[in-house]
Copies of this chain bind each other. A is one copy, B any other.
Amino acid sequence: MPEYNTKQREALLRFFENNSDKHYTAAEIELRLAAMGEKLGKATVYRRLDRLVDEGLVRRFVADDAKSCCYQYAGGEGCKNHFHLKCMSCGELMHIECDYLDEMKAHILEHHGFMVDISKITICGVCEKCRK
């Protein structure tokens, strides 16, 4: 599938890269982009977000108290091959390289016949800081 490099796509990507430490709803993203002088239509925001999620550059999930989906950048380095732990309390996204988790993937394939797609998983929980 062809992929045009429009200025709207660039604006979204730049926004995520510069705000990779937090997650945002579609509406927040639209607002913040508008505040920066980049006005995108709602539909474009949603359509682009869907594609960025499909491409694996952005993760979609739902924070505990939020009513709608949140999006967060995860396209740097080797984000396809490591695990993501998302703290539902403070919002931090941890990037974990871990052999144990690779074994888990093998275990699931072998014992449950299920091929895990690591790039699509976000493991939710609470980080160390927030547990205190």
Contacts and interface: CB of A to CB of B under 8 A. Distances in A.
Report whether over half of chain A's contact residues are helix, strand or loop; otherwise say mixed: mixed
Interface string A14-26: 0000000000000
Contacts of A113: 127-128
Interface in A99-132: 100-101, 104, 107-108, 111-117, 120-121, 123-128, 131
B117 A126 contact: yes
B112 A120 contact: no
Determine how many copies of this chain the complex contains: 2
20 contacts: A61-B64, A62-B62, A62-B69, A64-B120, A85-B108, A85-B114, A85-B116, A88-B117, A88-B120, A96-B112, A104-B104, A108-B125, A113-B127, A114-B127, A114-B128, A115-B126, A115-B131, A117-B125, A117-B126, A121-B121
Interface of A: 60-62, 64, 69, 85, 87-88, 94, 96, 98, 100-101, 104, 107-108, 111-117, 120-121, 123-128, 131
